């Protein structure tokens, strides 16, 4: 009971501190903008620890964060192996192939009006479908290795990327294209110096959306069959052993990988499209 009370007191203290910081005079400065969410997150984690210990929640239901951190630190090698198998091999390979194929298809579609009218509604439709469902089929075709995971990822990222790239290529105005025409620019010159730069914000939007989809695809595909390593494998087998701390450690790994993946893409976007309105004023 005292631990739970401590948790409540901590919550009140953290929230008051945040309220003071957020409504104070320096609320627009960078340190405060960083500190407020960090205090909030830290408060939640410490509360979790206190409540789990205070209420005596069994470790098979919810392990305390300290146990998760301990398990994470003790199994760094194992989790690194899972990380390379799922993220570096499955997700990244599929991400590159799928997005590359989608980009090339978008360029192809762009040359033919007929193809655009036929493929675009289909792409929009496919982008909303539960494509994860193809995972059992692809695992059956490509075996249990990382290749089948990459195949699932290719299918998952293809359509959102296609739709985004096609929308991006249509972004230039008639006036701008006419100007290129008066310069006697060829299709490839127009593409390279006008339309691709204009499409960049859309392309990066697609890359950001699909970075999350890629991880989901790679992990879910492992639930249908995998070699004896990989994040999805680790999660499903550790649940079988009721080793919840290990499950959480695997989820932490996936979360870190996902955030890092997204962060890299966002950083590239920041470098490449520094001129765009959404990137300026920061």
Partner 1 sequence: MTRIPPLLGVLAALIALWYAAVVPMNVQETLTQAQRAGAVVTPTEATARRDTSNLVLVASNLDHLGESWSLDRPRLPAPHQVVAELYISTIGEELTGRRGLVQSGSLSNRGLVYHALVTLNATFLGFLIGTGLGTLLAIGIVHSRTMDMSVMPWAIVSQTIPIVALAPMIIVVLYSVGIQGLLPKAVISAYLSFFPVVVGMVKGLRSPDAMQMDQMKTWSATSRDTLLKLRLPASTPYLFASLKIAIAASLVGAIVGELPVQKGGLGARMLAGSYYGQTAQIWAALLMAAGLAAVLVWGIGAIERRTLAKMGMSA
- Report the interface residues with partner 1, using CB under 8 A: 15, 18-19, 21-23, 27, 33, 36-37, 39-41, 60-62, 114-115, 117-119, 121-122, 125, 128-130, 132-134, 136-137, 139-141, 211-212, 215-216, 219-220, 223-225, 231-232, 235-236, 239, 242, 244, 247-248, 250-251, 254-255, 258-259, 261-263
Residue number, 125 or 192, with CB nearest to partner 1: 125
Least CB distance from residue 185 to partner 1, whole Å? 28
Give the shortest CB-194-to-partner 1 separation in angstroms.
26
Identify the burial level of 107 via C-beta atoms within 10 angstroms of its C-beta, where 0-12 means exposed, 13-18 middle and 19 or more buried.
middle
* CB of 105 or CB of 190, closer to partner 1: 105
Identify which of residues 9 and 34 has a Cβ nearer to partner 1 in the complex: 34
Q: Which residue, 102 or 194, is less far from partner 1 as judged by CB?
A: 102
Extract the tokens encoding 48: 């979790």
Q: In this complex, which beta carbon is closest to partner 1, that of residue 185 or of residue 251? A: 251
Based on DSSP, count helices (H) and strands (E) in the chain, helices before strands.
Answer: 13, 0
Distance CA 138, CA 144 (A): 9
Sign of CA dihedral 151, 156, 157, 163: positive
Q: From the CA atom positions of the chain, what is the Rg in Å?
A: 24
Q: Supply the minimum distance, in Å, between the C-beta of residue 32 and partner 1.
A: 8
**Shortest Å, Cβ 211 to partner 1:** 7
What is the residue-wise DSSP string for 30-47?
A: HHHHHHHHHHHHHHHHHH
How big, in percent rounded to 5, are the helix, strand and coil portions of the chain? 80, 0, 20
Structure tokens at 231: 């994040």
The whole-angstrom separation of Cα 20 and Cα 275 is 36
Q: How far is the CB of 247 from partner 1 (least distance, A)?
A: 5
Least gap, CB of 95 to partner 1 (angstroms): 13
Q: Pick the closer one to partner 1 by CB: 76 or 140.
A: 140
Least Å distance, CB 139 to partner 1, is 7
Q: Where are the beta strands (DSSP E) in the chain?
A: none
Please report, for residues 112, 114, 144, 243, the alpha-carbon distance to residue 208 in angstroms, rounded to integers and kept in the order given.
Answer: 27, 29, 27, 33
Q: Which is nearer to partner 1, 171 or 243 (CB)?
A: 243
């Amino acid at each position: 009971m005292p631990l739970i009370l401590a948790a409540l007191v901590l919550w009140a203290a953290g929230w008051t501190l945040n309220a003071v910081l957020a409504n104070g005079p320096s609320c627009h400065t960078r340190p405060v903008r960083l500190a407020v969410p960090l205090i909030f997150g830290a408060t939640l984690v410490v509360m979790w620890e206190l409540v789990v210990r205070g209420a005596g929640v069994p470790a098979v239901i919810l392990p305390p964060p300290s146990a998760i951190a301990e398990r994470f630190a003790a199994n760094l090698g194992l989790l690194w192996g899972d990380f390379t198998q799922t993220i570096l091999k499955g997700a990244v390979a599929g991400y590159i192939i799928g997005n590359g194929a989608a980009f090339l298809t978008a360029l192809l579609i762009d040359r033919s009006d007929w193809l655009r009218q036929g493929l675009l509604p289909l792409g929009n439709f496919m982008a909303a479908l539960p494509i994860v469902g193809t995972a059992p089929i692809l695992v059956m075709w490509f075996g249990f290795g990382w290749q089948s995971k990459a195949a699932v990822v290719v299918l998952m990222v293809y359509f959102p990327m296609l739709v985004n790239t096609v929308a991006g290529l249509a972004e230039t105005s008639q006036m701008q294209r006419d100007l290129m025409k008066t310069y006697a620019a060829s299709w490839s010159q127009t593409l390279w110096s006008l339309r691709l730069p204009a499409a960049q914000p859309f392309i990066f939007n697609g890359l950001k959306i699909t970075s999350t989809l890629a991880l989901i695809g790679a992990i879910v595909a492992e639930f249908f069959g995998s070699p004896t390593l990989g994040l999805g494998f680790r999660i499903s087998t550790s649940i079988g052993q009721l080793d919840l701390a290990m499950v959480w450690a695997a989820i932490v790994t996936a979360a870190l990988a996902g955030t890092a993946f997204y962060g890299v893409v966002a950083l590239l976007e920041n470098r490449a499209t520094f001129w765009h309105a959404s990137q300026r004023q920061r």
